[in-house]
Chains A and B, each alone.
Chain A
Amino acid sequence: MHPARAWRGRSQRYRLEGEICEGCGARLFPPRDICPECQRPARTPYPLSGRGEVYSYTVVYEPPAGYEEQAPYIVALIKLEEGPLISAMLTDVEPEEVYIGMPVEMVTRVLHRQGERGVIAYGYKFRPVLRRMATMPAQPATVTA
């Protein structure tokens, strides 16, 4: 991945920044600039909480190029509490522990590496909600690396 391409997606990948439609209030992720609900412009940034639950999941045993070292890994559709579905890997969990409806939260991890000299792409993954976090106000994770 070209560094500019990784940089361009920083607000979404690191902060889960979507958009809110001024017209109908729909919260959108990924950003799409035109609201699919009412077809009006939706360009106001809106950070999502990063909390949601598993809508569906699978384990990838035959990975695409660039993801071999992570396989087998779990990818899921997450239903965010604000409404949108999002595609992401699940982390810090074994496949047999995952179930549809499992509460999850966003964390920031390495998505993939491109060899010794390539870009290390960071972004969101989701993990089971930690019990000790349940009483704290959850914040979207930030990147320090």
Chain B
Amino acid sequence: MREVAIIGVGQTPVGEHWGKGLRELALEALEAAMRDAGVERLDALYVGNMLSGQVEAQEHLGALVADFAGMHGVEAVKVEAACASGAAALRIGYAMIAGGLADFVAVVGVEKMTDAAGEAITAALATAADAEYEAVHGMTFTALNALLMRRYMHEYGYRREDFAPFSINAHRNAVHNPRAMLRFPITEEAFASARMIADPITLLDASPICDGAAAVILCPADQARAFHERPVRILASAVATDTVALHDRRDPLWLEAVALSAYRAFQQAGARPEDIDFFELHDAFTIMAALSLEASGFAPRGRGVAMALEGAIFRDGRLPIATMGGLKARGHPVGATGIYQVVEAVLQLRGQAGPNQIPHARLGMTQNIGGTGATVITHILEAID
């Protein structure tokens, strides 16, 4: 297998892009990444997206984006794995280069959510769950996470307010990220009094509905230096799956696919959890952040929230998370999120994260979760000297 490097990154601001559709967003991110890498020709293009068929009545995004980008004839397909679609597309691009089937690959994550009304987007997101046995009972994604959060509080004795540090950290970091959607700090008081969506989850536990696109350019690591002075190596790329339905898990509070995916990634990278300098995790809801920290090996069971309360997740803590705002405050354009995480990790490893820079960051981990943990994709990235 060949080693794979990231030589270019690009991202649109995350937000409500009333003036731009899927193709314009995708192209904006792709062009920025190609400029950053200084490449003009690609062997393949992979597009991560979840909702285009439901929100825009548009599938076939591989060909659509390639066509709109003027890349006549290029290999291109869409990759879908619910909210993990972005990282799933990266996984395919990585495998193509590692396996020697391509040399220059672009991976674009793109999502357009604001063209659908509230109930329609809630229903569209619920398609990541089991349609026959979850969604038909009026289950929403927020509701599934609320079930986890209430049980977690019941088993470990936490209060709702104990989850506040996850959102406070994310919002604080988003202030300095020019691409983030919610660039304002929040207080513990605001967290405590936020509007209820699905008890005990409020607006300030949940990531926002938004649009956005992010892109990376990959090439064989031994050619990377010719294109970018600070390339980043993909040390590990690991996917694991679990039951789609939450109720089919023996122990819903243990995200088995997170544990498997993280374990495989650590094995590939030859690294341990304590070697990781920062972690871009999937904080779609505060409870997901806690469960991800635990199953990934950063906190013992039931201690994910305690780890946040101790401040270990802040920029100056033992394991900074959501360093550019996370899903909570950068925003969660679902199929694009996995690529945003990787773009932000690359900026950290290049030393280009501005006021949010983690000093001496060498190893960064990203983790993109589809559904309530049915698809989990972990990447470990390393700055190349």
Q: Which residues of A contact B (CB under 8 A)?
A: 1, 9, 12, 30, 32, 36, 55-68, 70, 73, 75-77, 84-89, 95, 100, 111-112, 121, 123, 125
Given A36-B248, A84-B247, A85-B252, do A58 and B122 touch, yes or no (CB 8 Å)? no
Which of A61, A65, A85, A100 is in CB contact (< 8 Å) with B248? A85
Count residues on chain B whose CB falls below 8 Å from chain A CBs: 36
Given contacts A58-B150, A75-B147, whether A64 and B138 have CB atoms under 8 Å apart is yes
Chain A residues closer than 8 Å to B134, beta-carbon distance: 87
The answer to whether B137 touches A61 (Cβ under 8 A) is no
Indicate if B123 sits at the interface (CB-CB under 8 A): yes
Q: Would you give the shortest CB distance from B333 to chain A, in whole angstroms?
A: 19
Whether A61 lies near B147 (C-beta < 8 A) is no
CB under 8 Å from chain A, chain B span 284-302: none
Q: Which residue of chain A lies nearest to B122 when distances are taken between CB atoms in the complex?
A: A64
CB distance from B241 to the nearest CB of A (A): 13
Q: Indicate with 1 or 0, residue by residue over B325-363, a CB within 8 angstroms of chain A CB atoms.
A: 000000000000000000000000000000000000000
Pair A89/B137 contact, Cβ less than 8 Å: yes
Can you offer 20 A-B residue contacts whose CB atoms are under 8 A? Answer: A1-B136, A30-B132, A32-B248, A56-B147, A56-B150, A58-B150, A58-B200, A59-B196, A59-B199, A60-B142, A60-B143, A62-B118, A63-B138, A64-B126, A64-B138, A65-B122, A65-B123, A77-B246, A77-B247, A100-B154
Known contacts A63-B122, A66-B119; 6 further A-B pairs (Cβ under 8 A): A59-B198, A61-B197, A65-B122, A87-B134, A89-B138, A123-B137
Contact mask for chain B residues 81-112; partner A; CB cutoff 8 A; 1 contact, 0 none: 00000000000000000000000000000000
- B228 close to A (CB within 8 Å): no
- Taking a contact as CB atoms closer than 8 A, the residue among B122, B199, B243, B248 that contacts A95 in the complex is B199
A91 and B143 CA atoms in complex are apart in Å by 16
Tell me whether A64 and B246 are in contact (CB under 8 A).
no
Q: Is B135 an interface residue (CB 8 A)?
A: yes
Find chain B residues with CB under 8 A from A12 CB: 133
Given contacts A75-B143, A77-B246, contact A68 B119 (CB under 8 A): yes
User: How long is the Cα–Cα vector from A137 to B134 in the complex, in angstroms?
Assistant: 29
Q: Are A56 and B138 in contact (CB under 8 A)?
A: no
Tell me the bound Cα distance from A100 to B243 in angstroms.
23
Chain B 241-269, CB within 8 Å of chain A: the 1/0 string? 00101111100100000000000000000
Q: Which residue of A lies closest to B126 (CB)?
A: A64
Query: In the complex, what residues of B have CB within 8 A of residue A67's CB?
Result: 138
User: Which of chain B's residues has its CB closest to A6's CB?
Assistant: B136
Q: Is B384 an interface residue (CB 8 A)?
A: no
Known: A87-B246, A87-B247, A100-B151. A61 touches B138 (CB 8 A): no
Across-interface contacts of A58 in B (CB, < 8 A): 143, 146-147, 150, 198-201
